[in-house]
Structure 1
Amino acid sequence: MHHRAHRFRRPNTPRPAATRRTPETTLFSGVYGLILASALAAALDSPGEADEPGSDALWVLLTALASAAAHGYAHVVAHRLSADGSGVRVGLRAMLAEWPVVVAAVPTVVLLLTAMPSWWTETQAVNTALLLNTLLLAGWGAWTARSAGRGWTASLRAGIADMLIGLVIIAANALIK
């Protein structure tokens, strides 16, 4: 009966901690990865330059890996400063916990790779990746708000707010190019 109790709670009341499914770091890293992949793809696709979607896909992937490692390492440094005295294993776990940064970059990498066999241009792949990532940001924002126990209205507002980040990247890409 406890698993059904959340269906009958008042709107906008948070779920009990036991029913929350998504750790905060996973959510943060996923959003960060989507924004990072979008910004990189937009920056790497320069007008007037030869299309190099394979090289650009590799850069997006390597940058996501480096960012995940750097963010995890920053957690290690922060723990050291708090006199935690954690060992190497804890540090490696902190870095591996940033896997959502890399996973969030995968759709962009895949779309860039589809431009390699000339199925479409790199610019089309980048534009599609920017649109997809913007939609993923909206869905991610709404989903995380729902996971935190927010009502549908608040969740949709959160999704729209996250989507605005993607729209800013799209607008910046259009203005710069």
Structure 2
Amino acid sequence: MGDEATVPTAGTDRREPPDEAGAVYGCLLAASVVAGTGPGREPPHPVQLIALLLATGVVFWMAHVYARLAVQQWPRAFPPWRTVRAAARREWPIVQAAVPPAAAAGLGALGGLTDAGAAWLALAVAVGTQLGWALYVAARAGAGWPRLIATGMVNLFLGLAIVGLKAALSH
């Protein structure tokens, strides 16, 4: 859908920037991982939560790289290594988005929070970074105040929906 040029084809040396939308998506993914870890039972130990966050980020990153290459390259030919690297670099923000909530879970545990407290901190950080990335991307695209406010409201709604789901399923 008009996204055919996002991964360089053989013979081009164009470097595509990382996909900032992937950072927003990765934050939503991280929040979903945290929300899904403890419904109806004790939350995981922060080390387990960190592993889940990072592993999920890596697995979804690989899936996005594969999907991008499968749609754009493999129907014609097996992609050259530089094209695979370009796709991997473009999708890397999905993994990067898992780092702040994982760090929050670890720092929360080191700071004496319970496992549940560390999970809630990780969730808050995931939602906060998602909101921050969405506003950054909108501002960078030249959005005015009405669009920035709408972007913030939509992203805050999505984040709070995940928080509400975690709260509802945790009891």
Please give the TM-score of this superposition, normalised by the length of structure 2.
0.79
- Which deviations, in whole Å up to 9, do the C-alpha atoms of 1:59-84 show, x marking residues without a partner? 11011011111101111101125536
What secondary structure is seen at the aligned counterpart in 2 of 1:114?
Answer: helix
Is the CA contact (8 Å cut-off) linking 1:52 and 1:122 kept in structure 2?
yes
Pick the aligned partner of 2:55 from 54, 62, 73.
62
Q: What is the aligned residue count?
A: 155
Report the AA paired with residue 104 of structure 2.
L
Pick the aligned partner of 2:20 from 22, 27, 37.
27
% identical equivalent positions: 26
Post-superposition offset of 1:45: 3.0
Q: 1:47 to 1:85 in 2, by over 3 A?
A: closer
Report the AA paired with residue 76 of structure 1.
L
> What are structure 2's unaligned runs of at least 5 residues?
1-15
Quote the RMSD (CA, aligned, Å): 2.2
Please give the TM-score of this superposition, normalised by the length of structure 1.
0.77
> What are structure 1's unaligned runs of at least 5 residues?
1-22
Query: In the alignment, which residue of structure 2 is the partner of 1:135?
Result: 128
Query: In the alignment, which residue of structure 2 is the partner of 1:37?
Result: 30
Is the CA contact (8 Å cut-off) linking 1:142 and 1:155 kept in structure 2?
yes
Is the CA contact (8 Å cut-off) linking 1:142 and 1:157 kept in structure 2?
no
The alignment status of 1:154 with 2:147, answered yes or no, reads yes
Instruction: Report the more deviating stretch, 129-138 or 98-107.
Output: 129-138
Post-superposition offset of 1:145: 1.4
Post-superposition offset of 1:166: 0.5
Post-superposition offset of 1:98: 1.4
Matches within 5 A, 1:79-98: 79-80=72-73, 83=76, 86-98=79-91
Is the CA contact (8 Å cut-off) linking 2:23 and 2:97 kept in structure 1?
yes
Q: 1:141 to 1:51 in 2, by over 3 A?
A: closer
Higher relative contact order (CA 8 A, sep 6+): 2
Instruction: Report the more deviating stretch, 142-151 or 80-89.
Output: 80-89
Is the CA contact (8 Å cut-off) linking 1:143 and 1:155 kept in structure 2?
no
Q: 1:50 to 1:64 in 2, by over 3 A?
A: closer
Pick the aligned partner of 1:145 from 138, 142, 145.
138
Distance 2:122 2:160 in 1: 12
Larger radius of gyration: 1
Report the AA paired with residue 30 of structure 1.
A
Report the AA paired with residue 54 of structure 1.
V
